[in-house]
Structure 1
Amino acid sequence: MDITQFIKQTESHKIVPVFFHQDASVVINAIEASYKGGVRVFEFVNRGLNGLETFKTIIPHFKKYDDLVIGVGTIYDSKTAAQFVEAGAQFIVSPGLVTELANYCVHHNIAYIPGIATITEATTAMHLGCEMIKIFPANVIGSAFAKAVKSVLPQLAIMPTGGINPTENGLKEWFDAGVNCVGMGSQLFDKLKINNGDFNGLEQDIKKAVKTAFSLQS
């Protein structure tokens, strides 16, 4: 998926869950709950020793959803990105801006969203061909920074990630700042529900967050 398509998809669906678990079955259930909750873009986080193997296990389960976009985050180099793309990743996210990773993704027409924390990094990302950036960690940097980026680099789409609460107030401050979607991890995935296998409850939490995000755009 190229970056233009990815941006359109995130603009349409607002919330991008960010999730990892060592157990592939838990990841599969979390993605299923997210999809049923209204999510259409999902970021699998490449953590642990078996991230690639877990990803290869989960991908076949979602061929049935032709409108679901699954990508991979916490990527630091083009070699790892290529392995995940070969396994079915449709977009790549990194915690920081990695020049060789940007070059690889732009060259292969793959959506790449680098993490940035300064205007200099945002400008560098733009010059490398990135059309979307991830403000990370969002709760540390703050929504005022997103507004500042949009004022000087309005052509960049923004996906803040990290510590954003799925409440009306928590989401409103970011959408008011001009972001087109938000990445959400632990605030969206209740650990107790995950540990108890309560994926129906998780689905309801996600559905509520998605509904809240859409209500702020009307």
Structure 2
Amino acid sequence: MNIETFISRTDQHKIVPVFYHSDLQTCIDVVNAAYNGGVRTFEFVDRGANAIDTFRELMNRKSKWPDLEIGIGTIYDLQTAKEYINLGAAFVVSPCLVAEVAIHCRDHNVSYIPGIATIKEAFDASTLGCKMIKIFPANVIGSAFAKAITSVLPQLAIMPTGGIEPSASGLKEWFDAGVNCVGMGSQLFDKNKISKKDYAGLSNDIVDAINNANLVK
């Protein structure tokens, strides 16, 4: 998926869940719960030793979620990025700007969203062809930084990630600052519901978060 399509998609579907679990079935169930809750863009995290095998299995089940785009996050090197892209990752996300990944994705028309924490990093991302950046960690850096980016680098779309509350007020703070969408991990996925396999409850939480996002922008 090219970056223009990704940005357009996240303008419409404003919450991008970020998730990893070591258990394959839990991952399948969480993706399914997110999909049932209205999510259409999902970031799986390259974290555990079996992450790539789990991602492969999710992609093998993609027909269950026909209009869901699944990407990969926490990518630090080109080889890993290539492996996930070859498996069908719709987009690639990094906690920081990785130049070789940015160049490869740009040259192969794959969406790449690097994490940034300074204006210099945002500018460097832009010069490498990035059209969207991830403010990370969002709760540490703050929404005022998003406003600063929109004023000095207005060509960049923004996806803050990390510690954002799914409440109407928590989301309003960021969307009022000019972001396109928000990435959400632990704030969106209740660990108790997951441990109890309460996936209907998890879907309801996601519905509420999406409704809150749609109310504020």
Aligned residue type for 1:140: V
3-state SS of the aligned residue for 2:130?
A: coil
3-state SS of the aligned residue for 1:17?
A: strand
Please provide the CA RMSD for this pair: 0.7
Supply the distance in 2 between the matched residues of 1:130 and 1:61 (Cα, whole angstroms). 30
3-state SS of the aligned residue for 1:166?
A: coil
1:48 alignment partner in structure 2: 48
CA deviations over 1:51-105 (Å, ceiling 9, x no partner): 1011011112122433211000000111101100111111000000011110111
Matches within 5 A, 1:139-218: 139-217=139-217
User: Which segments of 5 or more consecutive residues in structure 1 lack a partner in the other structure?
Assistant: none
Percent identical among aligned pairs is 61
1:91 alignment partner in structure 2: 91
Supply the distance in 2 between the matched residues of 1:58 and 1:73 (Cα, whole angstroms). 15
Q: CA deviation at 1:139?
A: 0.1
Supply the distance in 1 between the matched residues of 2:192 and 2:140 (Cα, whole angstroms). 25
Matches within 5 A, 1:106-121: 106-121=106-121
Answer with 49-58 or 63-72: which moved more.
63-72
Supply the distance in 2 between the matched residues of 1:114 and 1:135 (Cα, whole angstroms). 8
Aligned residue type for 1:172: K
3-state SS of the aligned residue for 1:133?
A: strand
Per the normalisation by structure 1, the TM-score is 0.98
Supply the distance in 1 between the matched residues of 2:173 and 2:142 (Cα, whole angstroms). 9
1:27 alignment partner in structure 2: 27
Aligned residue type for 1:37: G
Answer with 59-68 or 171-180: which moved more.
59-68
Aligned residue type for 2:76: Y
3-state SS of the aligned residue for 1:5?
A: helix
Aligned residue type for 1:90: A
1:130 alignment partner in structure 2: 130
3-state SS of the aligned residue for 1:92?
A: strand
Aligned residue type for 2:142: G
Aligned residue type for 1:27: C
Supply the distance in 2 between the matched residues of 1:64 and 1:195 (Cα, whole angstroms). 23
User: Which segments of 5 or more consecutive residues in structure 2 lack a partner in the other structure?
Assistant: none
Supply the distance in 1 between the matched residues of 2:166 and 2:139 (Cα, whole angstroms). 13
3-state SS of the aligned residue for 2:61?
A: helix
Supply the distance in 1 between the matched residues of 2:86 and 2:179 (Cα, whole angstroms). 30
Supply the distance in 2 between the matched residues of 1:44 and 1:34 (Cα, whole angstroms). 12
Aligned residue type for 2:17: P
Q: How many residues align?
A: 217
Aligned residue type for 1:41: T
Per the normalisation by structure 2, the TM-score is 0.99
